[in-house]
Amino acid sequence: MKSIPTSHRIIQAAIATIAKEGMQSSAMKKICHKSGYSPGTVYHHFKDKDEIISRSFQHLLFELSKSFHDALQEDAPLRERLFRAWIALLTYFIKQPDHFFFYRQIVNGHSFLSGDENSSQFDEFVQPLELLILNGKNEESLKSLPVKLLLMLFFDHLHSVVAWQFQHKEEMSKSELSESLVALWDLLRKTSS
């Protein structure tokens, strides 16, 4: 069995700790304890808590990108591609609850996203979806709202459904999933006046 590199174990520990404790309550001591490494080992690999959080967020974005970018690349109608991307992200987060709660900690108002490196990586992560939405606007299939707002609607809807599943500790039925996708489409699509 292949061993997990030390820095990756520390990142996994940071994600799990922040997901459970929150950004402010996740002291380095807790991250060290969760990782199983001494503070000296952790500081050998990372300068400080901000670097651990930054690298953890970069790791998360890489994993998320793998899960949904293929859905956007396929030659399919706009609606189908949006649905596939949404389902891919939903599936990823349901299988990785710590990643979902860590992601929510980062994107829900933490100034951390405003850092140059993290901001540009987040922009790179959402770029394929942003381009798809822009194309949908240009084709007049999607509302004429700003692209960033349409992206927020997409992700806010996704976050709400994932949170609902965790809160209720049950998987959505096919009917509920289908209705959620219709609700997403209704949020984004341009309606005739």
| 167 in a structural domain | yes
Residue 144 lies in a domain: yes
Which pLDDT does position 117 carry in this prediction? 65
The whole domain housing 166 covers 57-188
| pLDDT 10s digits, 105-154 | 888 755 555 555 667 788 888 899 999 999 999 999 999 999 999 999 99
pTM here is 0.88
What pLDDT score does 107 carry? 81
Please say whether the beta carbons of 150 and 142 come within 8 A.
Answer: yes
> Using one digit for the tens of pLDDT, what is the confidence trace for 167-183?
988 888 889 999 999 99
Could you give the number of structural domains in the chain?
Answer: 1
